[in-house]
Structures are given as structure tokens and as C-alpha cells.
Amino acid sequence: MTTHIYKLLAVLAMTFTFLGCSQSPEIQKISGDAQGTTYHISFWSPQAVDTASIKQLVETEFTRLDMQLSNYRKDSVIEQLNATVSSEPLVLSEEIIGLIEQARVVSIASEGCYDLTIKPLFDLWGFNGDKLTPPDAASLQAALKQVGFAQIKIVDATHIQKLNPQLRIDLSSIAQGYSVSRMVALLEQQGIENYLVEIGGELQTRGKKPEGTAWRVALEKPLSSERTMQKIVTINRSEPLAVMTSGTYRHYFDLNGKRYSHILDAKTGSPVDHNIVSVTVLHDNPTQADAWSTALLCLGKTRGIEAANKAGIAALFIEQDGEAFNELRTVPFDALKNISIE
């Protein structure tokens, strides 16, 4: 599933150390290509598990999600909805309606900066192609009329109404987090309670490694020219935890000496213009963490930290100041227990 808002690629720091005579179960690993990126799943269980069967379940679910949520596929359910020009109630799955409603909550909390209906603006600016096309004021205002959650009406659990028939929805800012949750659900249905599931750098952990040590995740330093680690997150807790990062430093256009971020403010219709280059959210729900990381990156430092604190979101903001990177943490982030960052 190729997303329009590409997520920050986290580097997984999983170094497994075993004593020579240890009887601990071994970590099983499956990986592959999916959603325009790669996935890696590590897990173990005291009971015997059929790794090949789990891989098949995972890949079957990726295929299903692709057909439901992918905006790059013209035959996907979401793109069929976008292609339907109508203000009559339309049939839609409970799954997608649920995602829209989760995103709406985050959109309201971000005062509309984050919005799933932003697709016309991405097309207008050329972020879906290879060339930036800054619009004139008239074109921008015309596109903004097609944007806004207020133009989506949820009729019931399986019907949606586009109050603006031209409305188009882009799920890329929430779909990958949701995909992580679906892979987690597959593992847990098989009785697996110790795992690290990662898709394109977006991940969730639960439990610990067989020898009782914590899962460790490396966050990438926000540099466009290289890939190095900024921080190591040690997750010394058994409960599920999602780690989701959004950044501006990998996907952008440079034009006439100015850098244009791919993160668009749905209120103004223009790329954000601030010094926050990445936001990492730690949350027990990967779908919400995915949406919140994009929303907070859209809002920037002052408004983002205020919104996160109000909503109880644990977030780490990275601000670029020349060659230096400053870290800013929300109150809920500093209150996290059994999580260390170094």
C-alpha cells in the first residue's frame, strides 16, 4: 500500500543474545514486501507455532487491506468511493467508517490541521508526482472548498454520505497504523503474546524477548542525507505499546531555494512551515498513534505540544535549529513508566 504521507523509517534495534545452554524458545521471524514498503514481524511463544501458517495469514491480510484502504489502487474500496460523484448515502464497510471516525477525533483535536479529505490538495501541489506545482491563490481556494471533515456524514455503521459530491478521502495517514493493529490481532488470535510487529518503521510491541529482556527500538535521526540513530527506546513493559513516527525530512521538494514539506495543513492548504522535523508518538493503540503523529507534525511545536498535553498523548518532538536537533517532550511522555529513551 503506497501511502501519500510517507512515514518516518524507524531502524529496528533487535539484538538477541542467548546463553549457550539456554532452553528459551527461539524468536521466529517473518518478513516481506507490503504496502509499498517492507514488514518485519518477530515473535515467540512457549507453545509450538506454525510460522509458515502465520506468514500466510499475514500476507492474506495484507492483500485484503490493500483492496480496502489503498489510495494508489483504482480498484480499492476507498478509491471507488472517491470516484463516485454523489451526495446520496453510499455503502461502505464498518472497517473504513471506523477509521474515518477515529481520524475525525484527531482532526478536531488538531483544529482541522489534520484531515483525511486533504487529497485534492496533494494532487494540486503535485506531491503525488515527481514535480512540485505550487498553485495560485484561486486554485488553492477552489481546492480548499473540497476539503473538510464537515463534508462527511456518517449515516450509520455501513453508510456514508459525501455532502460535497467531489469529496475524496486519503487514508494513508492512518492506514499503516491500522495495518499494524491487524497483524497484531492475527498473532494474538494464535495465542502469541510476545512480539514486535513493524511495517515501514511503524510498530507495536508486546511482552519481552524469550530471555526476559526488553524490546529495543531505534529512532532515526532526522537527516535527509544519511540514516543514523537519534534515540534508542527500551520498552521494558509487557503491555502493548505502539511507536509511530512522522517526519518532514525525507519527503519534500526544493524549489527556488525553498523547501516544501509533504505535510499539508488542511486549514491553509499549504505545506507546513516550521522547524519540527519529526514527531514520535507512544500509545497503546497503533491506529491512533499513527494519526496523532501526523497531526502533531502538522501543528508544530507550540500548538502540537499543547494539543498533545490536552489529549494525554505521549510525544517526542524533534526541532531542527541549524545543525542542531532539540528534543521536546510532552507531559504524558515524561510520565511514561518502564520506558527509557537514550
Domains and CATH numbers, the chain: 1-342 (3.10.520.10)
What is the percent of the chain with per-residue pLDDT over 90, rounded to a whole number? 76
3-state secondary structure the chain: CCCCCCCCCCEECCCCCCCCCCCCCCCEEEEEEECCEEEEEEEECCCCCCHHHHHHHHHHHHHHHHHHHCCCCCCCHHHHHHHCCCCCCEECCHHHHHHHHHHHHHHHHCCCCCCCCCHHHHHHHCCCCCCCCCCCHHHHHHHHCCCCHHHEEEEECCEEEECCCCCCCCCHHHHHHHHHHHHHHHHHHCCCCEEEEEECCEEEEECCCCCCCCEEEEEECCCCCCCCEEEEEEECCCCCEEEEEEECCCCEEEECCEEEECCECCCCCCECCCCEEEEEEEECCHHHHHHHHHHHHHHCHHHHHHHHHHHCCEEEEEEEECCEEEEEECHHHHCCCCEEEC
Indicate the Cα dihedral angle 157, 307, 125, 118, nearest 10°.
Answer: 10
Of 184, 187, 206, 194, nearest in space to 44 by CA: 194
Query: In which band, very low, low, confident or very high, does the pLDDT at 131 lie, cut at 50, 70 and 90?
Result: confident
Mean local confidence (pLDDT), 229-244: 92
The answer on pLDDT for 265 being more than 60 is: yes
Backbone CA torsion sign across 318, 319, 321, 327: negative
Selected residue with higher pLDDT from 163 and 221: 163
Does pTM surpass 0.75? yes
What pLDDT was estimated at residue 7? 38
**Tell me: the pLDDT tens digits for 78-107?**
999 999 999 999 999 999 999 999 999 999
What pLDDT was estimated at residue 223? 59
Mean local confidence (pLDDT), 211-229: 79
Rounded to the nearest integer, the mean pLDDT of the chain is 89
Query: In which band, very low, low, confident or very high, does the pLDDT at 175 lie, cut at 50, 70 and 90?
Result: very high
What pLDDT was estimated at residue 324? 87
CA distance 210 to 214: 9
CB 215 within 8 A of CB 24: no
**Tell me: the pLDDT tens digits for 1-32?**
433 333 333 333 343 333 344 466 899 999 99
Mean local confidence (pLDDT), 54-61: 98
Query: In which band, very low, low, confident or very high, does the pLDDT at 180 lie, cut at 50, 70 and 90?
Result: very high
CA distance 152 to 212: 47
